[in-house]
Structure 1
């Protein structure tokens, strides 16, 4: 098994395209927009691969019958030193879902997710959401300073996602609502690839159910449309709040799929599964 050099990342595109991989993060690594590593059976003409995004999202794709690759994959996944405290493992096909069921057994939870794409005809309905912004609140585009503030105060994983602030400013984008120089609601590019941007939205608890998420997300969508970027929404199938927000913004569900999730804290996994109504054995 080989780890590809960054100059060889493009060699994996055909494997992803052949199986119509939808994972934005995988292409983000391949295109060099966000940090990650790629392992494959061959650096010139690969038939299967493991793409590892530094943030903890992984994708396995290609041939499921390569014994040496499957052995490598099993060793990699079971080696605790390869991961932080969790990994999200996505698959390019149902064959890989079944193969990973065998490899991981009950060592990882299997989650159901929905992929949404935005309907361009919804633009008129979201065009004026920013006018709902109450007095005393300010809508801003995320810059390097706000990225640093966000990474320190809200989500430290953004350091692994983007590496450094200027990379986010150059390859990503986002919008936030501020009050008294503090975050209220933030909508950022979680992952990006050429022509696509996956949405990450968070609103502080005391400001929820007041329309702030609609405002930040609508700005994100309008910026995407103006720059020929397709916004992508992806969430757990049991996250009714996220699905409802997506639909209000004009997103339509286009795919249901499964993925495997490992976390070192088993009680955290159980709590998550209960929250989103998974049957726990």
Structure 2
């Protein structure tokens, strides 16, 4: 059976039925980033979400052989082209199927997502004096950044202009040095990538007002994901 590519006219239907999913899934469905959605049939019982940067999500019925075969093909292409292959699993059944069919080619990892606790944030300890300046990330900060440079935004947002229009990010500045950053990825505020200079971490410099820059988390939800062997050595920034 051949997978069918879902047309954008059906994205709203899928968005209303999938429930909770990785953030990039919604950005594909909202057509903020480039990507594709594949289905095993017109009923959308099993779905495969694919970003241009090599991140995937399987959803629905794990008995779909068409979807499994598609995954095998995509993984093989990623290996041959030495490209990223990161796969998020919808359920324990899908995790078992992935391990069975892609065994030896991927490594199982766990990822946690956090939710914002507005009460904890409002009741946080506040300081009268600030050790850091909070700055919203603009083109100037992107040009000066070593971690989240223009290549990062081009890979995950398509362009820096798309990020500046649809995304957001903040950084902490101590004196004339940027010591920490938090940026949204795939146009969804629940997923934020943080970067903190090693020397600041070691000195405990993120405590106090600097720590308040980033949202406080109350709950964590574990997500199974699988990474292609060729991608293990690289830094996971997505």
Task: State the TM-score, normalizing by the size of structure 2.
Answer: 0.81
User: Would you tell me which structure has more helix in proportion to its own residues?
Assistant: 1
Partner residue of 2:222 out of 256, 260, 263: 256
Instruction: Give the direction of change, closer, same or farther, for the CA distance of 1:4–1:102 in structure 2 (3 Å limit).
Output: same
Q: Is contact 2:48-2:67 (8 Å) kept?
A: no
Alignment of 1:1-281 (within 5 A): 1-17=3-19, 21-42=20-41, 45-80=43-78, 85-126=83-124, 128=126, 131-134=129-132, 138-150=133-145, 153-155=146-148, 156-179=151-174, 182-193=177-188, 196-208=189-201, 209-212=203-206, 215=209, 218-221=212-215, 249=216, 251-264=217-230, 268=233
Q: Deviations over 1:63-118 (max 9, x none)?
A: 21222232222212222278753322111111111110111102111112333222
Mapped contact 2:53–2:84 kept (Cα < 8 A): no
Which ranges of 4 or more aligned residues in structure 1 deviate by more than 4 Å? 81-84, 179-182, 213-217
Structure 1: tracts of 5 or more residues without a match: 222-248, 273-281
Q: Could you tell me how far apart the structure 2 residues matched to 1:83 and 1:7 are? A: 32
Q: Using a 3 Å threshold, how does the CA distance of structure 1 residues 15 and 73 change in structure 2: closer, same or farther?
A: farther
SS at match of 1:34: coil
Aligned partners of 1:263 and 1:139: how far apart in 2? 38
> Contact (CA 8 Å) 1:130, 1:219: kept in 2 or not?
no
Moved more, 172-181 or 103-112: 172-181
Residues 1:47 and 1:15: Cα distance change in structure 2 (over 3 Å): farther
User: What are the Cα deviations for residues 224-253 of structure 1, in whole angstroms up to 9, with x where unaligned?
Assistant: xxxxxxxxxxxxxxxxxxxxxxxxx3x123
Q: Deviations over 1:127-166 (max 9, x none)?
A: 73694325xxx3210123323443xx21333321111222
Q: Aligned partners of 1:15, 1:252: CA distance in 2, in Å? A: 26
Q: SS of the counterpart of 1:207?
A: helix
Aligned residues: 231
Structure 2 spans left out of the alignment, 5+ residues: none
Given the two structures, how large is their TM-score scaled by the length of structure 1? 0.70
Q: Say whether the 8 Å CA contact 1:117–1:252 is kept in structure 2.
A: yes
